[in-house]
């Protein structure tokens, strides 16, 4: 039966790359929706009366339910029910969250639609639109994390022993293109402009597109399930669940006693919190610092994912053959700090902003390429599934907290600016120095921890500086 499988499916490049294309399009749709309105902070402020802290809470709400345990539940569902069920469930949850977010921003809800009175009755400093949009974004966040771990499992299933590293890189590159599309085109789709201090545009338009893409992504994963079912049938499997990779609560006690695991987890929080929350504020920061249009700010910000798409496979190949994983993390952390210090303190102009974004892109290429392959060297293979689940769980705390923190700080260090901008004052601008220094501080802490990891590696003999390929 296995021989037949190899002849019909596993040895067919067309089949496995088609399967990859289906699941990659699902993730492209998800990544677009993640950042669909990230370039529109000032439009949301003007048309929905969102303050920076409101926007920060909304941005972090994507991870809110995951840190309450839903991420771990998603892993358990994947272990018990398999790729096909979990992927379709993830697609439905993402679409449900997207529709709730769309309703929260809709004219129907704003003009007294169902639920408006209730959501306006509590937490009055948070507009009802922001509350409902945050609820939808949080539900979407469950789905996108569930989809991420499911697609990773699918890639392993189809490409193990073949072009798995390349396939994972291509899947990630396709997904990140979704983020770039959001930064490049959301302002244009929204019709966003600020001529003469007057902000115009329709923030709903990118969300409509995002919901349409999520629907297409659900459809492409549905098409993938037919191929996956055929693969299982040829292999003689009755289920696509893999109990060998299951999450076990009992494993956590063994994992948390490992000092290397905690350093890697802390680095993960610092690295990713220095990039994804920054992107939520990158476009309005450039608008305020450079005086550029939201379209130009989006084009600059969208260069960061493109840089990672190009560099990550190259860096991965270097690590496979030469090693130096811990050293590369030090370099990545230093570049992260340097990029944010540039945004915070340098007399910013357009070429310098582009250069700083590219440096940040290099940092974000160095970090995942060196960090994720380090986890299997630190944690025993039998605990690896549980270790990755715990790392993602810890990471989500940072990704939830820092967007909110930056929004609060931005509002506190710019008293009265929100009201002036909402009133249409063309001279009102935010000072982003302190928020950018916070991001630079994350880079500094990451540098210290990366050096600590290298020292622990030398003491414990993890082999982080050794090549990934065995000679």
Mean pLDDT to the nearest integer, 132-143: 96
Taking the C-alpha atoms of residue 204 and residue 398, their distance in angstroms, rounded to an integer, is 28
Give the best-scoring range by mean pLDDT among 340-344, 346-350, 362-366, 452-456: 340-344
Of residues 88 and 45, more confidently modeled = 88
- Please tell me the predicted confidence (pLDDT) of residue 323: 73
pLDDT tens digit sequence for 314-335: 776 777 777 787 888 899 999 9
For residues 147 and 66, the answer to whether their CB atoms sit within 8 Å is: no
Mean pLDDT to the nearest integer, 24-32: 95
The CA distances from residue 137 to 129, 273, 375, in Å, are 12, 18, 30
- Please tell me the predicted confidence (pLDDT) of residue 458: 87
- Please tell me the predicted confidence (pLDDT) of residue 246: 61
Q: Does the domain formed by 250-471 have CATH 3.30.365.10?
A: no
**404 has pLDDT over 80:** yes
Nearest to 324 by CA among 262, 263, 370: 370
- Please tell me the predicted confidence (pLDDT) of residue 459: 86
The CA distances from residue 195 to 198, 202, 426, in Å, are 6, 15, 9
DSSP string, 59-81: HHGGGHHIIIIIHHHHHHHHHHH
Tokens of 454: 């290298």
Taking the C-alpha atoms of residue 468 and residue 462, their distance in angstroms, rounded to an integer, is 12
What residue segments make up the domains of the chain, in order of their start? 12-238, 250-471
pLDDT tens digit sequence for 188-201: 998 887 765 566 77
User: Quick one: what percent of the chain has pLDDT higher than 90?
Assistant: 44
Give the best-scoring range by mean pLDDT among 44-53, 156-165, 243-252: 44-53
- Residue 243 CB-density burial (10 A; 0-12 exposed, 13-18 middle, 19+ buried): exposed
pLDDT tens digit sequence for 281-311: 998 899 888 888 888 888 898 888 777 777 7
Nearest to 119 by CA among 106, 133, 107: 133
12-238 CATH: 1.20.1250.20
- Three-state DSSP class for residue 200: strand
User: Quick one: what percent of the chain has pLDDT higher than 70?
Assistant: 89
Which residues, 6 or more positions from 11, have their beta carbon under 8 angstroms from its beta carbon? none
Taking the C-alpha atoms of residue 240 and residue 219, their distance in angstroms, rounded to an integer, is 20
Tokens of 374: 């380090």
**339 has pLDDT over 90:** yes
Taking the C-alpha atoms of residue 196 and residue 44, their distance in angstroms, rounded to an integer, is 18
């Amino acid at each position: 039966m296995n021989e037949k499988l190899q002849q019909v499916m596993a040895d067919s490049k067309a089949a496995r790359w088609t399967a990859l294309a289906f699941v990659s399009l699902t993730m492209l749709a998800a990544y677009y929706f993640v950042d669909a309105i990230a370039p529109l902070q000032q439009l949301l402020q003007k048309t929905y009366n969102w303050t920076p802290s409101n926007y920060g809470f909304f941005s972090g709400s994507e991870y809110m339910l995951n840190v309450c345990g839903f991420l771990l539940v998603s892993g358990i569902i994947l272990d018990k029910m398999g790729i096909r069920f979990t992927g379709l469930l993830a697609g439905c949850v993402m679409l449900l969250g997207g529709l709730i977010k769309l309703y929260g921003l809709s004219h129907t809800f704003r003009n007294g639609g169902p639920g408006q009175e209730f959501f306006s009755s509590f937490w009055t400093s948070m507009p009802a639109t922001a509350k409902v949009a945050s609820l939808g974004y949080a539900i979407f966040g469950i789905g996108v994390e569930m989809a991420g771990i499911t697609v990773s499992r699918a890639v392993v299933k189809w490409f193990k022993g073949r072009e798995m590293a390349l396939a994972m890189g291509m899947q990630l590159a396709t997904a990140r293109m979704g983020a770039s599309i959001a930064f490049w085109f959301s302002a244009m789709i929204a019709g966003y402009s600020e001529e003469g201090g007057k902000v115009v545009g329709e923030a709903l338009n990118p969300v409509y597109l995002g919901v349409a893409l999520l629907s297409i992504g659900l459809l492409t994963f549905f098409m993938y399930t037919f191929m996956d079912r055929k693969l299982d049938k040829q292999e003689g499997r009755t289920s696509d669940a893999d109990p060998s990779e299951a999450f076990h609560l009992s494993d956590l006690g063994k994992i948390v006693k490992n000092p290397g695991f905690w350093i890697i987890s802390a680095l993960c929080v610092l690295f990713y919190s220095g990039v994804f929350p920054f992107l939520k504020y990158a476009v309005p920061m450039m608008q305020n610092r450079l005086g550029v249009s939201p379209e130009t700010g989006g084009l600059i910000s969208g260069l960061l994912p493109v840089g990672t798409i190009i560099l990550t496979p190259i860096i991965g190949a270097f690590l496979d053959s030469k090693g130096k994983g811990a050293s590369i993390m030090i370099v990545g952390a230093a570049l992260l700090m340097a990029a944010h210090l540039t945004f915070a303190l340098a007399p910013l102009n357009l070429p310098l902003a582009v250069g700083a974004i590219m440096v940040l892109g290099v940092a974000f290429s160095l970090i995942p390429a060196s960090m994720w392959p380090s986890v299997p060297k630190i944690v025993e293979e039998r605990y690896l599934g549980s270790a990755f689940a715990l790392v993602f769980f810890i990471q989500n705390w940072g990704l939830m907290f820092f967007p909110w923190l930056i929004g609060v700080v931005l509002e506190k260090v710019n008293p009265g600016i929100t009201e002036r901008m909402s009133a249409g004052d063309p001279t009102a601008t935010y000072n982003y120095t302190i928020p950018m220094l916070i991001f630079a501080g994350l880079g500094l802490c990451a540098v210290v921890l990366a050096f600590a990891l290298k020292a622990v590696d030398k003491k414990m003999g993890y082999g982080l500086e050794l090549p990934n390929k065995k000679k």
